[in-house]
Amino acid sequence: MNARLPRFARSPLFVFILFFAAINALWIVASLSRRSTLPRGSAAPGIALPAAGGQGNRVRLADLVKERPVALVFWATWCPTCRSELEALEARRGELEKGGVGLAGINMDFESPGVVEQYLRDAAIRFPVLLDDSSVSGAYGVSTLPTVYVVGTDGRICGAKVGYTSGRKILKMAGACTPR
């Protein structure tokens, strides 16, 4: 039977690569099946977290959504996709604000506020970033990063997306918010 296989297919390296690809495919399928978010229209869980670089003042969800819908961006510094998303959203922040949407990052590094604050300075991220202690990400069911929730002024979830989310997609989700 080996005589019929091409020469490269008999290589141990090829077998290893094929095995590695199969394991990764199974992992991806398993992780996609776990990607669930809170349903649209449900009440958003409350938030009371300290702001990065703040003096311990806690920011509440009601503070964030009192004038306009807000996109809650769950992220971590060790996640390259998250960093790309944050930087792209910062670059489009003016467009989002003009479209009536605010931004707030929810950082999930848990015990590294210094690392988070250094990244925010280096990347020139100017929108508020809150430091999660796992209570908020747990309440929102975040298991994959990045994850974005858009919450309306009525405190209800207008939309959610797991994975990289563009400013355009956030504006579209915010369009589903019911004005107060």
pLDDT of res. 26: 65
Taking Cα atoms as reference points, which of 93, 68, 105 lies closest to residue 180? 68
pLDDT at res. 36: 74
pLDDT at 25: 65
Q: Are strands 70-75 and 102-107 parallel, antiparallel or unpaired?
A: parallel
Whether 92 and 166 share a structural domain: yes
Domain shared by 107 and 65, yes or no: yes
Q: Which pLDDT score is estimated for 24?
A: 66
Short-list 94, 93, 107, 88, CA closest to 145: 107
Distance separating alpha carbons of residues 86 and 105, to the nearest angstrom? 8
pLDDT at position 33: 47
Q: Where does the chain show beta strands of DSSP type E?
A: 48-50, 58-60, 70-75, 102-107, 129-131, 147-151, 157-162
Q: pLDDT tens, position by position, for the chain (180 residues)?
A: 556 777 776 777 767 777 777 676 666 665 554 457 899 999 999 999 999 987 678 999 999 999 999 999 999 999 999 999 999 999 999 999 999 999 999 999 988 899 999 999 999 999 999 999 999 999 999 999 999 999 999 999 999 999 999 999 999 999 998 775
SS3 assignment, position 90 = helix
Residue 160 CA to residue 178 CA, distance in Å, equals 15
Per-residue confidence (pLDDT) for residue 174, from 0 to 100: 95
Residue 43 lies in a domain: no
149 lies in the same domain as 70: yes
Q: In total, how many domains does the chain have?
A: 2
- Please tell me whether residues 73 and 16 are part of one structural domain: no
- For residue 85, the domain's CATH number is 3.40.30.10
Q: 90 and 125, same structural domain?
A: yes
Is 39 part of a structural domain of the chain? no
| Same domain, residue pair 118 and 154 | yes
Token representation of residue 151 = 């919450």
Clarify whether residues 134 and 111 are in a common domain: yes
Contact 74, 161 (CB under 8 A): no
Q: What does the pLDDT read at residue 152?
A: 97
Question: Same domain, yes or no, for 168 and 82?
Answer: yes
- The answer to the question of residue 40 being in a domain is no
Range of the domain at 13: 2-34
* pLDDT of res. 32: 52
Instruction: Report the first-to-last Cα separation within the chain, whole angstroms.
Output: 70
Residue 18 lies in a domain: yes
